[in-house]
């Protein structure tokens, strides 16, 4: 059974810091991995999608890497800003249909 | 282009009642999936529909059902509501049944009292 774990559960950093959020999964047979952002009480905003054949994806200040063999992904946020404060979720897709298995998320607070 | 739209945004129901949640996917998207997110946890997969057919079902009781209409919009129905059904219900759309990127709506916050 696929399980997704995110560490740390919560993180508080001063503005301007570079930070890394971690995601691990137990079954390396994934099709792709997707990182999302969720503001309190809101829906999910897709940040990055990495296919199983890719090693990393970049969008602006965000960079996500994937090491399928070790069951790990990292989300790197450069020069963090207070507006980055949110919960970050990673999810893997393992089946032939569009079922995502999510971690519990990392709650990030960036303070001025 | 409009994103994924869900209605209503908030809902309060009493134990034992029935509820219907609605979702309109992004224009051109044919696949809709439903997720339940309990406070403090990641979303849990409930159903996927593609071309009006159920393509996947998560580990939820038969009180949960769904359907997809010819215009690709979808409804999630929950019967005999329990306190534990209180959650944020999320709808995701994607272009096909395969493995593309999923786009989520803002969710429906259901509170069962």
Per-residue pLDDT reduced to its tens digit, B8-66: 999 999 999 999 999 999 998 999 999 999 999 999 999 999 889 998 899 999 999 99
Nearest residue on chain B to A32, alpha-carbon basis: B99
Of A89, A95, A98, the CB nearest to B94: A98
A88 and B CB contact within 8 Å: no
Give residue A32's pLDDT.
92
Min Cα distance A8 → chain B (Å) is 14
Q: Which residues of B touch A95 (CB under 8 A)?
A: 56
Residues of chain A with C-beta less than 8 angstroms from the C-beta of B6:
43
Stretch A83-99: mean pLDDT, rounded?
A: 88
Q: Is the pLDDT of residue A103 over 80?
A: yes
DSSP string, A5-61: EEE-SEEEEETT--EEEEEEES----SEEEEEEE-TTS-EEEEEEEETT-SEEEETT
Q: In what order do the strands lie in the sheet with B19-24?
A: B5-7, B19-24, B74-78, B64-68
Partners of residue B7 in chain A, C-beta under 8 Å: none
Task: Report the pLDDT value the prediction gives residue B97, as an integer from 0 to 100.
Answer: 58
Specify whether the CB–CB gap between B56 and B50 falls below 8 A: no
Q: How far apart are CA A53 and CA B19, in angstroms?
A: 41
Query: A28 — contact with chain B (CB < 8 Å)?
Result: no
Nearest CA among A33, A29, A10 for reference residue A101: A33
For the record, the structure tokens of B100 come out as 């593309």
Q: Tell me: the pLDDT tens digits for A35-70?
A: 999 999 899 999 999 999 999 999 999 999 999 999
Helix or strand holding residue B34 (H, E) = strand B31-37
Q: CB B33 to CB A98 under 8 A? A: yes
Comparing CA positions, the residue from B112, B113, B106, B83 lying closest to residue B8 is B106
B72: which DSSP letter?
Answer: S
Q: Report d(CA A93, CA B96) in Å as an integer.
A: 14
Query: In chain B, what residues touch A100 (CB-CB under 8 Å)?
Result: 33, 35, 43, 45, 92, 102
Q: Compute the average pLDDT of residues A80-107.
A: 92
Asked if B90's CB is within 8 angstroms of A44's CB, the reply is yes
Please report the pLDDT score of residue A66 as a whole number: 97
In sequence order, the 6+-apart residues with CB closer than 8 A to the CB of A53 are none
Q: What is the per-residue pLDDT across A10-36, written as a single tens digit (0 to 9) for each?
A: 999 999 999 999 999 999 999 899 999
Report how far residue A61's alpha carbon sits from residue B105's, in angstroms, rounded to the nearest whole number.
24
Alpha helix stretches (DSSP H) within A11-78: none
CA-based nearest residue to A2, from A19, A20, A24: A24
């Amino acid at each position: 059974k696929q399980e997704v774990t995110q560490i740390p559960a919560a993180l508080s950093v001063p503005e301007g810091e570079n930070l890394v959020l971690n995601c691990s999964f137990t079954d390396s047979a994934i099709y792709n991995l997707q990182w999302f952002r969720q503001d309190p009480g809101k829906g999910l905003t897709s940040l990055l999608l990495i296919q199983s054949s890719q090693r990393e994806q970049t969008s602006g200040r965000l960079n996500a890497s994937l090491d399928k063999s070790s069951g790990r992904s990292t989300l790197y946020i450069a020069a963090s800003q207070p507006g980055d404060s949110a919960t970050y979720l990673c999810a893997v897709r393992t089946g032939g249909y569009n079922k995502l298995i999510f971690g519990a998320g990392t709650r990030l607070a960036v303070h001025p | 282009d409009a994103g994924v739209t869900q209605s209503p945004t908030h809902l309060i129901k009493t134990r034992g009642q029935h509820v219907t949640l609605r979702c309109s996917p992004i224009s051109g998207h044919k696949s809709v999936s439903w997720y339940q997110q309990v406070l403090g946890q990641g979303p849990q997969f409930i159903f996927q529909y593609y071309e009006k057919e159920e393509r996947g079902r998560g580990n939820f009781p038969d009180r949960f059902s769904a359907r997809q209409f010819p215009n690709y919009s979808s409804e999630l129905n929950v019967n005999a509501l329990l306190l534990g059904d209180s959650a944020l219900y999320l709808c995701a759309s994607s272009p096909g049944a395969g493995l593309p990127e999923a786009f989520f709506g803002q969710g429906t916050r259901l509170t069962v009292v």
